[in-house]
Structures are given as C-alpha cells and as structure tokens.
Chain A
Amino acid sequence: MPTREKVIFEYSQPGRGASDQWPHYVGVAPLADLPAKLRRSAAPELPEVGELEAVRHFTRLSQLNFSIDTHFYPLGSCTMKYNPRACNQYAMLPQFLARHPLAPESHGQGFLACMYELQEMLKEVTGMQGVALSPMAGAHGEFAGVAMIRAYHRARGDLKRNEIIVPEAAHGTNPATATMCGCVVREIPVNAAGDVDLAALKAAVGPNTAGIMLTNPSTLGVFERGIEEVARVVHDAGGLLYYDGANLNAILGKVRPGDMGFDCLHMNLHKTFSTPHGGGGPGAGAVGVAARLAPFLPLPVVDREGERYRWLTESEMPQSIGRLSAFMGNAGVLLRAYIYMRLLGRDGMRAVGEYATLNANYLLKRLRDAGFEAAYPERRAGHEFIVTLRRQAREFNVTAMDFAKRLLDLGFHAPTTYFPLIVPECLLIEPTETESREMLDAFVAAMSQILEEARQEPERVRSAPHTMPVRRLDDVRAARHLDLTWTPTTQH
C-alpha cells in the first residue's frame, strides 16, 4: 500500500486555487448591506490548492483504506456485503439529486413512488404493519423505536413503565438508546448455550417494564431459540419487544421479526439492504411497527391515494413521536436500498439469508478444522459466529487483537474484535453471502498461517501489522495529547 500522504494544508500556497469552480459573478457591491459588526474580518483559512493537487491528494488518501471493493471485510455485526454499483448510479440520476426536500408532491411522484414501495417491501420482509423511513442510522432507528414504546405506554396512562431490558451481550447502542429516551437499563445474562436466561428475564419483568431490546440471531451469532417464550413473558408483563435489526441479514426471507412476536424494529439498510457504509456512514435506520404502535411512527411517512403519492401530515398523525430529521432522512440511501431490493426480488431476499448462513457455517467449520475454537460449538451459526482465541492467548501470548492486525498484512480486513464483551479474546466473523467459497478458503489459509506463526515466531504476530501505511498507533497518546486539528506548528 502507499505510505504517508501529506495533510492537505501542507500543499497550500497563498493565491492558488481551483478557480474554474468559483462563480464569476458576485454582484455589484454585494456586501454593502452587511453591517461590519456582523462580518467576518478575514477569509477562512481553508487550503489553497489546485484541482489536480486536490484530486491526487484525496485519491491517494482513498488508497490507504481497505474497503469491500478492494478486500474481504468479514467485520462481524456489520454485514459488509457487495454494494452494487447500479444502486449508486441510479440513485444519483440528476433529477433525484436536484430534487429539493420541500419540493411539492407534484414534482416528486417518481421519488415518492419508490419510497412508498420501499415501505411496503420492508413491511413484507419484517412482518410489520407500518414503516417509517426517516431515521438516519441504526441507533437513530433504535431511538425512534424506544420513543414509540414510551409514547405507547404513556398514551395508555401507564406512566411507570420506564425500564428497558437488554441482554448483557447487546450492542452498546441499545443501552445508550434507552438512556437517550429517558429510560433505565436492566441488563440480563445469557445462558451457557447463548440463549436469554429465561429465569433472569422472568425476575426482571414487572409493572415498570417498558420493553426488551433483542437482536436475533443474537450478538453471539446464534438464533434465540426461546424467542416465543421471551415474547410471552414480556407481553404478559405488559412490555413490548424491540428487534435490533443489525442481524436481519441472517434470517431475511426465512423468519420475520413480526412473526416472532416483536412489536417494533429498526432495519440497518446499510447492512441487510447493501447501501454503502461510506467510511462510517451514511446509514439508514427505517423503523417498522405492529399495528398498535403505528400511530406513533416518526414523520414523514409516505401514503398513496389512488395513483397519487403524498406525505401524511402532522394532523393525520397527531400521536407521532415527531420529526427526527430536518427533512426526509437519508433519501439517497433509501433509493439505493429500494434499487437493491428490486434487483433481488422475492427469491433473492430468501437467498440472502440462506447463503449468508451457508457461508458462515462453512467458514466456522473450516476454521474449527484448522484448530480454532468456536465460542458456541454446539450451536448452528447464523450469518456470523464467534471464535475465541483464549487458548492461543494463554499458550502463545498472542491475542485476538494480534491476529486481527496480522490479518491486515495478509490482505484481509479484520473481523470485529473484543465484541461481544462476554467472550474472552474473541473474533466475531461475518462473511456475508456475496463472498465466494474460494475467498473463504483463502481466509482460512491466512488464519492457519497466523496460527502457525503464533507457534513458531509469535513476535511476528504480536508486532503486526508490518505492511500497512502505519504500524500500531498509540491510542493512549492520542487521548492524552489531543491533536484534533492541524496547525502549521503542530510538532510531535
């Protein structure tokens, strides 16, 4: 890989610039009516570089990244599947890009038709009765979901219910969301087989229970076999069930959260429905609800009347939890998800869950054959699974993090490390359905090589990576000597 690229400000020369991009016309005395005390005294210190310099700089920076388009990226819980180029190209048609969010419905029937059909397809694949598309990421969808659960209880005058139950292995966003919604978090354990501890659940529920947040398959990569009993216990106690859609890819077309008893969910369209992760976003966290929560959906929602599509108004949804975005949420992401779903069709949806599960179980079996230990060896993997390196850590003093870094040298993005927190020295591995058998075999070969290195020359693994643009970075220094913006005098 290329090595270090200068910071763009280091290319800057006073007076240089991509002048072709600048407006010619700036009016006659355009600033005369802006009072001096409201004006900026000096132009902002942005870089002054030519267009080619900027293009080279950012192209080189891009080349310092691993990505799905360049590398196998088996990051557990993140569903790093192929992002079809068609989804990008057709979501970026000029009319879609130019459409203002407040443009009238008369100039948005094509866009709104896509949004309406997306809502309908998402209802079908989740078994829900209502869908709203505006939450902009998984955590934003979680917020919408828990806020709806709270609003539901309040609307019934059931004001005490402010406890959200989460399994201890849950994604960090679950408890953080509960807090953002003003709820109290109660964590419950999972049993040795990876299922929710039903006795602990029964002890935790009560008149204060607002609901439970669950991922299924769980963050441990296994299907929650007691889900029907979990639903019964929570519902009998007056609580609702929230489905964290992070792992929906595992069951797409095979089982639907609505049929399992969930009342509410978010879908990570940037996972299951293949919109790009963009180096940290944008995502889209559409929410789905059972009928009793439908009045509380966040706005905006698209409706159809005859052949016309329109937004539902606030007066038509007086119990809505309100707006969570300035406009429509991540509309361009929603278009990409729509295109992806149409490309797959109903048979393709089923194939996603099937082949994601096939790939995960194959990879797990091959890794076990190669000497790696499964965290839940008696269980069938969902679309992902956990390998624990506790034995290697003990025998060779080589950690899961060391394995992860060495994988980078061998051309593989690392799996998720040290999550979930309850499994020591773990790697959470999610191959997705879009990887070939050959790629999975190559990953097994790389893991086997690292295992052999851990035996023969462990320092090579412990000091990895060796071939990346940088070696391991000093995170403690980063937090202690905060260097968050570039200045000409910044010295190390």
Chain B
Amino acid sequence: MAFIPHTEADVAAMLAAIGARSIEDLFAEIPPSLRVSSLAGVPEELNEMEIGRLMSERAAQDGTPLSFLGAGAYEHHIPAAVWAITTRGEFYSAYTPYQAEASQGTLQTTYEFQTMIARLTGMEVANASMYDGASATAEAALMAVRANRKSKSARILVPTTLHPHYRRVAVAMASNQGLRFEELPYCTVEGVTLPASLGKYAGEDVTALLIQQPNFFGRLEDVDALTDWAHERGTLVIAVVNPTSLALLKPPGGWGSRGADIAVGEGQPLGVPLSSGGPYFGFMTTRMEYVRQMPGRIVGRTLDTTGREGFTLTLQAREQHIRRAKATSNICTNQGLLMTAATIYLSLMGPQGLTRTAAASHARSRELVAALVRTPGVRLAFSGPCFHEAVLLLDRPVAPVLKALAARGILGGLDLAPYYPELGPALLVCATETKTAADLERYRASLSEAMQAARAA
C-alpha cells in the first residue's frame, strides 16, 4: 500500500499487542449504519511512473504561451537557488514552529523576512505572512477598525482603482463583522483617485482609506495628498503595494507627512511562480503602536536560559489558539514556505538586483505600450505615470482580439470589460524584465494582424 510500511507480520504483532482481532475491530465504536462500503468515485491507484506520465501530458496540454498578463500576478525571473533550498525537506516538511528549539531555521528565516519586508515598505513591523494580497487587504481593514479607536463607523473607503478581486474579497471576508466598504470613483481621464472626490466625506466618521500603489491600472496615485487628507481627519491609511515597485517608488512608511498606518500586498513577485494563482503569500506591516492589533504569526528574538540569542513566536495572545473567540483573526496556517522563498529571493537580489528588476520591468512595459499604440485602433487610456502595466483602449471589443492572439500563442493581457465597462473596450497589459525586445515585437506584429483581421471580418 502506498506510503504504508507495514508488513503482514507487523500488523499481526500490533493487533496482538492491542488485543484486537482485526483492524476492523478498531472501528467498533462507529455505528455500523454510518460505515461506507466503497469509494467508487475514486479511481484505482496509479504508481509514480504513471502519475508522472499523466501530469506531464496535462502540463503539456496547457503549454507555455508568451504572456503579457499582470493584474496582480507577475512573471519575474526566479533564481534557481530559491526553490532548490525552499524545497529542502527541513523547510518543506516542517510544521508551524511551535517547538522553538526544534524550529530555529524557520523562526530565524521569518525574522529575516520581517526585517526585509519592514525595510522594503518603510514600516516598523511585519508579520510572518497572510494567505495572499487580497486576504491581507481584508484583514488590514478589520485591523484598522480595531486600531482606530476614535472611529465608531467601521466605514472603509475603497477606491475603484483597487484590484476588483481584492474589493470582492474584502467584502466577503469583513462585511459579516459589520464593516462597510464604500467605493470611491476614479478619474476616467487620468485613471487615478482624485483627492477632490473625497470632499463629500468632509466632517464624516471614516475609519480607514485604502490606497493601492501602483493602482490596478498600473497608474500612480497621489499617495501623499491622499494620506494627508485621511490623517487630517482621523482616518487611518491602508497601503496596498507591489513589493517589486517599492525598489523605485516611495515606500508607504514615507507617504504624506506621517506615512501609512498599515501596508499590505501580494508577495508573489518575490520569487514565487505564477502557478495558476497560488500558493502566493500576503505581507502585512504596521506601526509598532498597532502591533497588538495585527493578525497572524510574529517572530521575535529573545534569549535562552543560558543567555544565548534565539527566536520564538511572540505576542501569541493575539491569536486564535490562545484567545479563541476574541482573537484578532482566525488565521492559523499561513504561507510560511512562500515567505521562505521570498526571503531567499530578496537575499539574492539585494538592493541592486531588486532595483534593476523594477527598472527593467518599468522600461519594458513603456516600450510595450509605445509599440502597441502604433497599431491603428489602439491608444493609451490614461495620461500620467505608470509602473509596469498600463491600460490600452481598442476601437473594437477586446475579447475576440485576445482570442485571436491566444491562437497565436500570445496571452495579450486582461479584458477589462467585466470589471470596468464604463471604459469601453479596454485592455490591461503588463511587461516585466522577462520580456525581450523580440517578445514585444512579436506581440506588436500579432496584435496588428489580429486587429486587421477583425476589421476585415
């Protein structure tokens, strides 16, 4: 039997020791009426060779198209060492580090991760990861309600330039606790949230303002003005940021005159493969004054009984296994292994590598946009600076164009029609450092053909 080492002699000896006649006897406390006779819906077993063949065929079926999709998940180079080390059994098959003395590797890696993420975001403290960027955003809204004691409204302002899936996750995960999410419109010319649009909230109790930088369109928001507006009125600021972009862009800790209060984001760009959407990890940072309101695990450095330094889980009184119904969150298992990968990635990239990665991604996306807008019927949607993705407007529906591109082995970006119908036929495109000039030209030429074919049809 797969992965079960028992011989018949073992089973006989073990049953004899227990004093049972058969394995079946061990289930005697279960009412017979509940016993299941067969699992017909589960196929017969495969051996490793057979599953290898099946999975290789399935993977080949999906192919490796040339992708210009971004929208919250980004293709970046991943150093070979990252996953060679991350999948070492000692990291891969360990549990949550409850026994600190037997888990110093995971604990110290987490401490190093917390340090790197705090430095990258310009914030004071980080936790050991959340599930993904969207759930981290939802948890940040819940945390803001706990942290902003002066506010009683549990109202959270959410720009519509925040990733549409993040907005939905926030509603799904937080509205049962009475949080109200109110959407802020964006300027359809510039593709950003205008501070002037906040005027209607003058004098009202607002718990927190979410700001995504760069926003879902890739555009850069006026984070200083938005942050100061919020702070002047007792509203906390939750930053949602792309970690790669932070090598170039002002970190949330430096937004406005006081900096953001909580910063979260999707950690996937830091060494985690796209993998159909996960596993990724969310990161979460805040000011020291709010650390006891933060959900998730936190590692601290301390001393052992002989005065040697060591690492341990700390501030556990916030967590579900201690506080139960009064915990900051129900989160238990997080995304530890992905956090490990990110820590190795950031160590290999360092300040120079991450900065070059961000700059190269930014350059390639600008070149992509410049090339694509030369195509008749394609123009840039918004004026003003972007980071590594942008919205294009087409003179015809996007979906058939994307389908024609896909038939040529190119994933041309995300059709925004389901999300932002008011923009008309709009396409979100992304290029990172992984794209070459030849890749961009291939996309341009294919788009040109697809648009011509569509016009002729």
Contacts and interface: CB of A to CB of B under 8 A. Distances in A.
A283 interface: yes
A251 B337 CA distance: 28
Contacts of A483: 300-302
A98 B169 contact: no
Given A137-B131, A355-B6, A59 B85 contact: yes
Interface residues of A, number: 204
In the A-B complex, list the 5 residue pairs whose CB atoms are closest, starting with the nearest: A27-B363, A345-B45, A69-B89, A327-B277, A278-B337
13 contacts: A26-B360, A30-B366, A44-B351, A49-B347, A86-B52, A279-B95, A326-B72, A405-B99, A437-B6, A437-B14, A470-B308, A470-B310, A473-B310
B156 interface: no
Interface string A470-481: 111111011101
B377 interface: no
B291 to A, nearest CB: 7
Given A18-B353, A136-B132, A343 B47 contact: yes
Interface string B273-290: 111111111000000100
A358 B433 CA distance: 54
Contacts of A469: 101, 104, 310
A27 B360 contact: yes
Interface residues of B, number: 204
Contact of B73 (A102, A473, A475): A102
Nearest to B278: A330
Interface in B105-150: 105-106, 108-109, 111-112, 114-116, 118-120, 124-126, 128-129, 131-135, 142
A477 B273 contact: no
Contacts of B223: 38
Interface in A88-103: 88-103
Q: Which residue, A21, A139, A328, A486, has most C-beta atoms of chain B within 10 A?
A: A21
A178 interface: yes
A366 B352 CA distance: 58
Given A44-B120, A254-B30, A332-B278, 17 more contacts: A22-B356, A47-B347, A61-B109, A64-B105, A65-B104, A90-B52, A94-B59, A98-B274, A109-B61, A322-B171, A325-B131, A328-B276, A339-B51, A361-B18, A405-B101, A414-B102, A473-B312
Nearest to B298: A484
B448 interface: no
Contacts of A16: 350
Given A104-B406, A379-B29, A279 B300 contact: no
B45 A66 contact: no
B438 interface: no
Interface string B235-253: 0000000000011111100
Given A96-B275, A355-B4, A34 B334 contact: no
A280 B336 contact: yes
A338 B319 CA distance: 31
B187 interface: no
Contacts of A57: 347
Interface string B1-42: 111111000110111011110010011111101111011111
Contacts of B402: 104
Contact of B359 (A26, A346, A348, A359): A26
A107 B337 contact: no
Q: Which residue, B99, B172, B329, has most C-beta atoms of chain A within 10 A?
A: B99
A111 B17 CA distance: 46
A61 B85 CA distance: 10
A81 B31 CA distance: 27
A109 B309 CA distance: 51
Interface string A351-367: 10011011101100110
A356 B49 CA distance: 26
B1 A351 contact: yes
Interface stretch (A123-131, A198-206, A232-240): A123-131
A84 interface: yes
A423 interface: no
Given A64-B108, A324-B135, A324-B172, A470 B304 contact: yes
Nearest to B65: A107
A465 interface: yes
Interface string B62-96: 11110101011101010101010101111111111
Nearest to A464: B101
B261 interface: no
Nearest to B52: A90
Contacts of A333: 278-279
B186 interface: no
A485 interface: yes
B44 A329 contact: no
Contact of B350 (A23, A49, A173, A357): A49
Interface string A70-92: 11010100101111101011111
A168 to B, nearest CB: 10
B258 interface: no
B439 interface: no
A207 interface: no
B441 interface: no
Given A34-B220, A139-B333, A278-B340, A67 B90 contact: yes
A26 B433 CA distance: 8
A47 B356 CA distance: 15
Contact of B4 (A44, A66, A434, A463): A434
Contacts of A34: 220, 248-249, 362, 385, 387
A274 B255 CA distance: 44
B307 to A, nearest CB: 8
Given A176-B327, A279-B340, A39 B126 contact: no
A228 B287 CA distance: 50
A283 B278 CA distance: 11
Interface stretch (B173-181, B197-205, B226-234, B449-457): B173-181
B299 interface: yes
B274 to A, nearest CB: 5
Contact of B330 (A17, A120, A177, A281): A177
A65 B36 contact: no
B302 A61 contact: no
Contacts of A472: 101, 304-305
B330 A142 contact: yes
Contacts of A344: 2-3, 45
